Amino acid sequence: MKNTLIIGGAGFIGSRYMNDFGTKDVTVFDSLSPIVHNRKSIADFVSLGVDFVPGDVSQPDDVRALFENGVPENLILLAAETGTGRSLHNCALNTRINAMGTALVLDTLSGMGVLPKRIVLTSSRAVYGEGPFRSASGETVYPEQRDEADLKAGKFEFEALEPLAMSAAAHLPNPSNIYGATKLCQENLVRNWARSFGVSAYVLRLQNVYGAGQSLTNPYTGVLIHFLRNLSRKEPVKIYEQGGITRDFVHVADIASAINLALTGNAPAGTYDIGSGERLTLEAVAREICVLTGGPEPEFCDLYRLGDVRHAAADIGRARAVLGYEPKVSLQEGLGGLIKFFEA
Ligand SMILES: NC(=O)c1ccc[n+]([C@@H]2O[C@H](COP(=O)([O-])OP(=O)(O)OC[C@H]3O[C@@H](n4cnc5c(N)ncnc54)[C@H](O)[C@@H]3O)[C@@H](O)[C@H]2O)c1
């Protein structure tokens, strides 16, 4: 076992972390979930110098066997069932991988009595659900998941409410889909376990991560890949909810650097919001992609996806001040790289 173990390290974020910070001190444990990896094999990672242990984080025997080789100083927990829409019909699977898988890792470690010094968990903005809003009277309010009857009627916006940037220090989590519920459970398990055993836990609540290397085969994640797929078929991008959904798109290189800061820096353990700090409508992002690709104008429609939230953006003030995090990749630069990757 090397110094740093990445559980779920073969995916989008783990691969970028190893690309930017090296594979020398890293062991990867991963099930190579077919929906994410399509044709990738263990040999592809071994050829890059990765110390690869195949296994499923939700299988007790696999997790026990993993730690028989030792316990690392640093643990990065990335393995998860992702995909908001898919999670709605896969409650048990999401709970098994995201919650039970994490619990198994923690139990196995405390059972062995040898503990890592730091754990970095990549959580998600999904734990905020629809998120915090300011009401007309200036209060912070947390609306529940929108009613399907309203969505069907094309009533997408929360009336008289102004969306606020999500901040772990200022706002309460309030997940509005199964994925978000299991990510919050995962956070709570890691935070409470780590506090009890004197392990430093860094919970990074990531916004929408994008960039070269993201899965082209997973149909449930990555709205930008959907846009690019449409454009490659010369079909206009269809934008749900009339294009008014807002997101904070953060480049995967900035996420890799946030993980590295949490692992190697002097910031106190805690929960940090990680994004670009910029709120953009999907309309604006789709238009930018159309300009960069020369694709047809986007089309706006009244379609919606159950479990999707209307607004999301991070308040990255604390990550900046305490963790030393600074997003460096601009949207234009990041989209350019993503388009090249998609075309290749
Ligand atoms: N990409 C984003 O936009 C985003 C946003 C917020 C949070 N996150 C979180 O970041 C983490 C990593 O995301 P990603 O984009 O790299 O996802 P990914 O799907 O590309 O990578 C996840 C990796 O985990 C592996 N995995 C899945 N189930 C497993 C299991 N049962 N046992 C072992 N390995 C398993 C997969 O094979 C894959 O290699 C996830 O926890 C996700 O919830 C991602």
11 in ligand 1 pocket by Cβ < 6 Å? yes
Residue 296 lies in a domain: no
Residue 82 lies in a domain: yes
Quick one: pLDDT band at residue 218, thresholds 50, 70, 90? confident
Residue 96 lies in a domain: yes
pLDDT value at residue 219: 66
> Cα–Cα distance between 264 and 141 in angstroms, integer?
36
**Mean of pLDDT values over 234-260:** 95
> Cα–Cα distance between 98 and 240 in angstroms, integer?
28
Residue 197 lies in a domain: yes
Residue 237 lies in a domain: no
Total of domains in the chain: 1
Q: Is 29 exposed, middle or buried (0-12, 13-18, 19+ CB in 10 A)?
A: buried
Residue 229 lies in a domain: no
57 in ligand 1 pocket by Cβ < 6 Å? yes
Q: If you measure from the C-alpha of residue 9 to the centroid of ligand 1, how many angstroms do you get, rounded to a whole number?
A: 8
Shortest-distance atom of ligand 1 to CA 208 = 3
124 in ligand 1 pocket by Cβ < 6 Å? yes
Residue 239 lies in a domain: no
- Give the containing element (helix H, strand E) for 9: none
For residues 183-210, one letter each, b for 16 or more C-beta atoms within 10 angstroms of the residue's C-beta and e for the rest, the string is bbbbbebbbebbeeeebbbbbbbbbbbb
Q: Give the tens place of pLDDT for each residue, 254-297.
A: 999 999 999 999 999 999 999 999 999 999 999 999 999 988 89
Q: Give the tens place of pLDDT for each residue, 7-61.
A: 999 999 999 999 999 999 999 999 999 888 877 899 999 998 999 999 999 999 9
pLDDT value at residue 216: 83
Question: Helices marked H in 198-321 — which ranges?
Answer: 223-232, 252-264, 282-293, 317-318
Residue 220 predicted with pLDDT over 70: no
- Give the CATH number of the domain where residue 271 resides: 3.40.50.720
187 in ligand 1 pocket by Cβ < 6 Å? no
In terms of residue numbers, what domain contains 38? 4-214+249-277+313-328
Instruction: Tokens for 159, please give them.
Output: 């009336």
Instruction: Tokens for 309, please give them.
Output: 């939230």
Residue 298 lies in a domain: no
Stronger pLDDT, 35 or 207, i.e. the higher one: 207
Strand partners, 140: 134
Q: If you measure from the C-alpha of residue 341 to the centroid of ligand 1, how many angstroms do you get, rounded to a whole number?
A: 20
